[in-house]
Structure 1
Amino acid sequence: MFSRLTTTLTYPPHKIAVAPMMDWTDRHCRFFHRQLTRSALLYTEMVVADAVIHGDRERLLGFDQVEHPVALQLGGSDPEKLAEAARIGADYGYDEINLNVGCPSDRVQSGTFGACLMRTPELVARCVAAMKAVVDVPVTVKCRIGVDEQDVEQALDALSDQVIAAGADALWVHARKAWLEGLSPKENRDIPPLDYPRVYRLKQRLGTDFVGINGGVKSLDEAKAHLDAGVDGVMLGRLAYQEPGHLAQVDQRIYGEKRSSVQWNDVIEAMAVHATRHIEAGGRLAHVTRHMTGLFHGLPGARRWRQILSTDATKPGADARVLFEAFSQVRLDEPSVAA
């Protein structure tokens, strides 16, 4: 359908990205993560194309300018709807539009998108081409290495070749199969074995095309090892969310920036200001602080920090003073997190 494009690589050098995670990477989470790293690419939760077109766009798509670079992940399988949603997202100012070809939940299967699209690479390519035709920002794909009984060598090559030929600027590959029959979405994040070498082989075959890897990365040392193995980027999921202190080391350790260490006082102050604005707009403190409980993992006082944010921050009328009280319980006389 498409002849392979011969344009040079233009996708930005996103060595580290924080994965799109349903119910986790909302605008408050992304604002928080941006206080820890200036360089990592941040992703929204997956937003269904129909919701973007017909729903409350400010609620679904609104974000703070500090979040850049930030990518919008879309779910869907209708090229026309995805093109319209991509245009809307680009107009909102997102730096990238990403198509979800990896989510294994029942909800996305019933809508014939997510991981089940691994079976129809031609359709995915049409979706990519439709989105590329209406936006000037990169259009990328996040996929699995295969689904169910697919041969991962054939399935991943078929998808990658078609979407790149259609104009995809990058592939982010979760290095696991998705089992759509017999495993829950949670089980699909752990039970199918990781196959990092398969993603390495894809990168070797595609040459200059951007290939990022995702799945099971438990430290920045592991992230560096993947980059040393040849992939262009590493996507962090649960590590970034559950132990976000790791993100405070990304700019120096991965991007080689000379940035001084993150000042925790500045992070807490920025989050307090953000939380206050949210509360004044009718929100609740816990909407913000729920993403912060793992920040001081491993430090003395971290347990008390978690307790206060998990209890006091959820009470009616709670305000930013709770955040400062929790922070006062943390002793910062040790490194914030092990690499």
Structure 2
Amino acid sequence: MASIQINKTSALQTLNTICDVLQGKLSTGMRSAEMLLNNSLGKGRILALEFPEISCLCYDIQFNEEIGYEIRETEHRHLYFIYVLAGHFLHKQQHEEHHHTIRPNQNIISEVPENGITQVAFPKDVHLRFVAINVNHRSASGRIGSYLQELGGQMVAALSARNADQRLHYVGQPSFKAMDIITSLRGLDAHTAMGSIQAESAILALLAAQLEEHRNHLDPEPKLPLYAQDLKKLQHAVEHIHGHLGQKHSVQQLSKRVGLSPKKLQFLFRSMFATTVVKYINDLRLEKSRELLLQRHLNISEVAQTLGFANGSYFNKMFKQRFGESPLAFKRKNQG
């Protein structure tokens, strides 16, 4: 097993340490860093994002041998939100006797003591897709502290009331919203100004989704049972849409691809995303269009065609309805 010793002061520094040991290729932006790995140790991508009071590491990678981390917590952020979309790994804090397995579609909220040591073991030949968000929940006056108070007041109150030797470790249920947000991070160029804004918005949305699941656990409402096979099929549909935005999609085609009835697929989208399949696809296309419009080599018609809009006029109408300005106005405003 390759072992990596990490004195964690920031997500960017952590990724730099990982990259040095794994001999990956590192690129950096103003508030981001990305490691691309393609050697005998593995293949894939790890993205680090650093914002005020919040940071995260996004994994989309497969290791060819077991990789172990020993992380010493030396920064001020001690509350972790972990959501695994694919794969599994072992996790252990220093006060625990045994490792426990972090599995797909588990909502993990875990508090780590200052200068505490966490051990993580990633298996070989397992595709890992997960996000680990790290926040400073004790900064109640800060932006994230207020955000936590608003979205998860019961949890923050519980954290504040505990004795110093008590630590939160919560293992929750699947969240379709979290799954969707992590899927949207795939392929995002966080080094650009627009990509950085989109990344921060996505991480805050993921944090909100995880806090919402925790709040529902504390104050549950009656709901229909969630079946693992439906979760997997919906995940398949979402990933197919994200990966083929330029193609035409119908409810019937998607249903056939993932093995659900059209009625069931529509029901799942309405239940989990509060929208229809068609509107979900259009919203994704419109969000992606803002990123493509900032690329100088693409004109508005080419962006519309790339994303599967029927024509430029329809794209212009949908964009203006969603963002309050035309694609041309957006392009001119952001390119100077």
After TM superposition, the score normalised by the length of structure 2 is 0.28
Higher relative contact order (CA 8 A, sep 6+): 1
- The structure whose residues are more often strand, as a share, is 2
Instruction: Name the TM-score, length of structure 1 as normaliser.
Output: 0.28
